[in-house]
Amino acid sequence: MPRIRIGAPRYGLSDANRDGMLVKIKCHACCITHCYRPADLITICGDVQLAEIAGFFRCESCGSKVTLSADWLTARGGDLNGLRIRRLVGVRLVRVFDWKDETL
């Protein structure tokens, strides 16, 4: 992982994508971890920094947002061979209707 210094330019998903890194998102309640390519996450989150990534997700198992954390994952000597990566295959937009009761 590259050193990130205070006052240094921000290091975002596009930088991680350029450097060949992955993003690991873990739910600490369920101990479930998924790994993502930064380019896929840019589609969802935009070019955000590491601390902001987890806020865009919800655990698929327990539904929690607050127990998620994100971290960079770097390849060292091919130790990522065989790693299971979650790829973005599409984005669906869901329409949600908000109702309000009124008295005539």
User: Which residues of this chain interact with Zn ion, rule CB under 5 A?
Assistant: 27, 29-30, 59, 61-62
Contact between 6 and 52 (Cβ < 8 Å): no
Please give the backbone phi and psi of residue 32, each rounded to the nearest 5 degrees, phi first.
-100, 130
- Compare residues 43 and 61 and give the one whose CB is closer to Zn ion: 61
Taking the complex as a whole, how short is the minimal distance between the CB of residue 55 and Zn ion, in angstroms?
15
* Dist CA 102 CA 43 (whole Å): 39
Distance of closest approach, residue 60 Cβ to Zn ion, in angstroms? 8
Q: Which is nearer to Zn ion, 14 or 67 (CB)?
A: 67
- Give 31 or 89: the residue with its C-beta nearer to Zn ion: 31
Over the range 31-53, which residues count as b (16 or more CB within 10 Å of their CB) and which as e? eeeebbbbebbbeebeebebeeb
Q: Which residue type occupies 9? A: P
Minimum separation from the CB atom of position 59 to Zn ion (A): 3
The smaller minimum CB distance to Zn ion, of residues 29 and 35, is found at 29
**Rounded least distance, CB 27 to Zn ion, Å:** 3
